[in-house]
Amino acid sequence: MEGIRICGGRPLRGSVQVPGAKNAVLPVLAASILCRGPVTLENVPNLSDVAAAARILQALGGRVSQPAPGRLRVLPPEQPGRAVPRRLMQAMRSSLFFLAPVLSRTSQVQVSLPGGCDLGARPIDMHLHGLAAMGARFAQDGQALLASAPGGLRGADITLRYPSVGATETLLMAAVCARGETMIRGAAIEPEVTDLARFLQAAGACITGVGTRRLRVMGVQMLQGVRWRICPDRIAAATVLCAAAACGGRVALTGAVPDHCTAVVRALCRAGCCVTATETGIALESDGRLRGIGALLTDVYPAFPTDAAPLLAAALLRAEGESAITDTVFENRFACAAGFSALGAVAGILGRTVTIRGVRGLHGAQLAAPDLRGGAALAIGALAAEGESLLTGVEHIDRGYEDLAGLFAGLGADTARVRRREAGAG
């Protein structure tokens, strides 16, 4: 079993090129099915979730190649298959993004309920209700979901009860080639949603209101092939910022978009960090002596992002005073709190809130990543601790970070990917 060996207690210094966003490239890969011509994607991170999406594309008849690091070339299928294999659907939650594009192209598709991190209930009813308003019909047989649109998808006026990123992206992909006009009200405005909309526009889609809560889409017959550069990963940027805040030091994030990171930067400044926008991205300086930030709520963009909540919690484990972070999106966002306690932190869970009372010092421990962002949070906690830690469950972390150990090592941390027995863990 693989793990990440972390010897903490070192400040982080240096610069990092922020990679392309996982949460942007996955819907774009699914949307490439709508294109009638080659799609070239740049700034693509090398992640297990990206590999899983490529396997789904290939299972549907597409061809995916990597002509250079960070670049993918997709040849969409002329006649897409109508079924996504169950094992591929269950590899990640984002597999659900293939539902709308395949339904648009073939008028019928069979998928399974998707997998992903265990963060609690993650209903897909808004996806299905929106597609039903556009003419889709659904039947469920156990874990299999059969969707059909015998007359093709048609435009509709849809109001989302909550600005769901996934539902907004699903309905955008359904609408761009549907007959007539679609209005999506209450849409999500996260940078990754905007990135998908801009990709679709570049391929020939007619979308107005991009970046607002109301999207208007006039369906076109088909989209064309396109070259597209994936937007920077604001959560990867938040990971580095929180790690440097916890450990002390100075880091520069090249390619980060300051406007995408405003809520995270604001919270870290409250904790005592100095964060500045630069000509090339963002820089953070910290002496590692942080203060508690009191209460903080996550919410939809532009509020503090749910994915960064455990990362910030990890940064505050040694802060003077108390912090209480409540996640309004997922009920099981802070499964990493048990690992915080193993490091010697004082962290407790009540409902959706993690409460942290800062301690003077942390110590190394045996840790297991419970999910993607929780795993990164435990790595941050271990970086701020004295002594050696071993973090297992790296298959979760690999879904969203190309090489987390190498990333931190490049900033001066003593981290390495190891086999478990190399760290004396049996």
Where does the pLDDT of residue 279 fall: very low under 50, low under 70, confident under 90, or very high at 90 and above? Answer: very high
Place of tokens 């990597």: 66
CB contact set of 264 (below 8 Å; sequence gap of 6+): 234, 237, 238, 241, 242, 304, 305, 308, 312
How does the average pLDDT of the chain come out, rounded? 94
Entry pTM: 0.94
CATH label of the domain that carries residue 318: 3.65.10.10
C-beta of residue 23 within 8 angstroms of C-beta of residue 400: no
Looking at residue 421, what is its pLDDT?
Answer: 58
Statement: residue 4 has pLDDT above 70: yes
Range of the domain at 302: 2-19+232-423
Mean pLDDT of 257-283: 97
Residue 120 has pLDDT above 50, yes or no: no
- 304 and 407 together in one domain: yes
pLDDT, position 114: 64
- Residue 88's pLDDT band, with cuts at 50, 70 and 90, is confident
Which pLDDT score, from 0 to 100, does residue 425 have?
41
Q: Are residues 208 and 288 in the same domain?
A: no
Same domain (yes/no): 313, 403: yes
pLDDT in tens, 327-364: 999 889 999 999 999 999 999 999 999 999 999 999 99
3-class SS of residue 340 = helix
From 229, 257, 275, the end of a domain falls on 229
Of 195, 229, 263, the residue that ends a domain is: 229
111 and 11 share a domain? no
Q: Give the end of a domain, one of 229, 260, 285.
A: 229
Question: 178 and 224 share a domain?
Answer: yes
Are both 182 and 243 inside the same structural domain?
Answer: no
The answer to whether 54 touches 94, Cβ cutoff 8 Å, is no
The answer on pLDDT for 133 being more than 90 is yes
- Is 14 found in the same domain as 108? no
Alpha-carbon distance 376 to 383, whole Å?
A: 11
Q: Give me 58's structure tokens.
A: 């290939």
Q: Active-site residue numbers?
A: 117
Count of structural domains, the chain: 2
Residue 420 has pLDDT above 80, yes or no: no
Of 401, 402, 403, whose CA–CA distance to 415 is shortest?
403
- Predicted confidence band at 142 (pLDDT cuts at 50, 70, 90)? confident
Give the C-alpha separation, 334 to 325, whole Å.
10
Pair 267, 382 in one domain:
yes
pLDDT digits 0-9 by tens, 164-193: 999 999 999 999 999 999 999 999 999 999
**Do 157 and 245 reside in the same domain of the chain?**
no
Same domain, 266 and 403: yes
State the pLDDT at residue 121: 45
- Average pLDDT, integer, range 54-65: 96
